[in-house]
């Protein structure tokens, strides 16, 4: 049976550190503050927002909500971003993505002040992640994968890491972050010739394909650590990941559950980024 890499202990350890950093900021007269910018009432956005609010309350990060109707215009969205940029008491902004209108989303990402981009939305943040230097933050989910690996002491130097998925939000930044930790990284996608074979060769397998149960027992091998980033509502109405957990668990050394894995760490990473952004501007 594999070791189950639950997200909650990693998130709790990070939260403890962040509480102390938030207190230190408050002693310097700074209340770390996150703007949450949401367009519409998508159920998964609201559920993530509820989790983020709870984590922020625990850490001592203030939250300000900027809410637009589902049919809000590009100008309304850009006005909200301008307001966030101009407000010196706001240190970070989380905007729910993807927006139905990609043009609106791209315009908002381009307008956000880089120093308030705590979720890797702007080109500058992604460039910093790819260059391995600079002040930009990685997208929170990508960073949450790294926090989990770090919390459980998973070795990366010299190891073979395989990432399934090449999105700008998860796959690509995770691959870059793994490489910065000296893993030898292979990125897979829908055109990969032998996906099961590539996956089986991994020491660390990160799956962010966005397809429920795409990774079966034929894709995994003994000794592996498997990080499942996917999150879906299965046919039985229960949450499940991109990996068939019941099949993989009997083969690999360690695996994250869904729910209760990567997703549980993401809001703690969001708070970490807000606190870091606040520390950079604190007097």
Contact region for ligand NAP (CB under 6 A) — 12-20, 108-116, 127-135, 189-197? 189-197
Burial code (b: 16+ CB inside 10 Å, e: under 16) for 252-263 equals bebbbbbeebbb
CA separation for the pair 65, 139 (Å, rounded): 20
Asked if 257 interacts with ligand NAP (CB under 6 A), we say no
CA 120 from centre of chain: 9
User: Of these, 210, 213, 217, 260, which contacts ligand NAP (CB under 6 A)?
Assistant: 210
Contact region for ligand NAP (CB under 6 A) — 50-58, 150-158, 198-206, 228-236? 228-236
Q: Is 169 exposed, middle or buried (0-12, 13-18, 19+ CB in 10 A)?
A: buried
Q: Which of residues 90-149 bind ligand NAP (CB under 6 A)?
A: 141
179 token code pair: 């490489």
Asked if 240 interacts with ligand NAP (CB under 6 A), we say no
User: Of these, 72, 173, 230, 257, which contacts ligand NAP (CB under 6 A)?
Assistant: 230
Q: Which of residues 165-184 bind ligand NAP (CB under 6 A)?
A: 165-167, 169-171
Burial code (b: 16+ CB inside 10 Å, e: under 16) for 70-89 equals eebeeeebbebbeebbeeee
Asked if 238 interacts with ligand NAP (CB under 6 A), we say no
User: Of these, 231, 243, 252, 277, which contacts ligand NAP (CB under 6 A)?
Assistant: 231
- Residue 166 or 272: the one with the smaller Cβ distance to ligand NAP is 166
Asked if 267 interacts with ligand NAP (CB under 6 A), we say no
* Residue least distant from ligand NAP (Cβ): 167
CA separation for the pair 148, 194 (Å, rounded): 28
- Residue 156 or 163: the one with the smaller Cβ distance to ligand NAP is 163
User: Of these, 18, 214, 248, 278, which contacts ligand NAP (CB under 6 A)?
Assistant: 214
Contact region for ligand NAP (CB under 6 A) — 69-77, 204-212, 219-227, 245-253? 204-212
- Residue 45 or 279: the one with the smaller Cβ distance to ligand NAP is 45
Asked if 5 interacts with ligand NAP (CB under 6 A), we say no
- Residue 25 or 274: the one with the smaller Cβ distance to ligand NAP is 274
Q: How far is the CB of 227 from ligand NAP (least distance, A)?
A: 10
Q: How far is the CB of 247 from ligand NAP (least distance, A)?
A: 16
**Residues of this chain that bind ligand NAP (CB under 6 A):** 141, 164-167, 169-171, 188-192, 195, 208-211, 214, 229-231, 262-263, 266
């Amino acid at each position: 049976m594999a070791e189950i890499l639950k997200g909650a202990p990693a998130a709790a350890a990070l939260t403890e550190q962040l509480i102390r950093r938030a207190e230190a900021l408050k002693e310097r007269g700074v209340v770390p503050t996150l703007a949450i910018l949401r367009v519409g009432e998508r159920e998964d956005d609201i559920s993530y927002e509820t989790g983020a609010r709870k984590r922020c309350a625990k850490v001592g990060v203030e939250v300000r909500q900027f809410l637009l109707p589902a049919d809000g215009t590009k100008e309304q969205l850009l006005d909200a971003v301008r307001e966030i940029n101009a407000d010196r008491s706001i240190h970070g902004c989380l905007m729910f993505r993807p927006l139905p209108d990609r043009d609106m989303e791209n315009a908002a990402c381009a307008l956000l002040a880089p120093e308030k981009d705590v979720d890797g939305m702007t080109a500058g943040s992604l460039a910093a992640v790819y260059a391995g230097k600079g002040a930009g933050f990685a997208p929170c989910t990508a960073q949450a994968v790294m926090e989990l690996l770090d919390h459980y002491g998973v070795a990366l130097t010299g190891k073979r890491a395989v990432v399934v998925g090449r999105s700008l939000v998860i796959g690509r930044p995770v691959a870059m972050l793994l490489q910065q930790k000296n893993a030898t990284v292979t990125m897979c996608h829908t055109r990969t010739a032998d996906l099961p074979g590539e996956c089986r060769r991994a020491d660390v397998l990160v799956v962010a394909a966005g397809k429920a149960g795409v990774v079966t027992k034929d894709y995994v091998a003994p000794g592996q650590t498997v990080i499942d980033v996917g999150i879906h509502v299965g046919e039985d109405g229960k949450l499940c990941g991109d990996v068939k957990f019941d099949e993989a668990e009997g083969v690999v050394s360690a695996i994250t559950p869904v729910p209760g894995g990567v997703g549980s760490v993401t809001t703690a990473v969001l708070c970490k980024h807000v606190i870091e952004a606040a520390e950079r501007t604190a007097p």
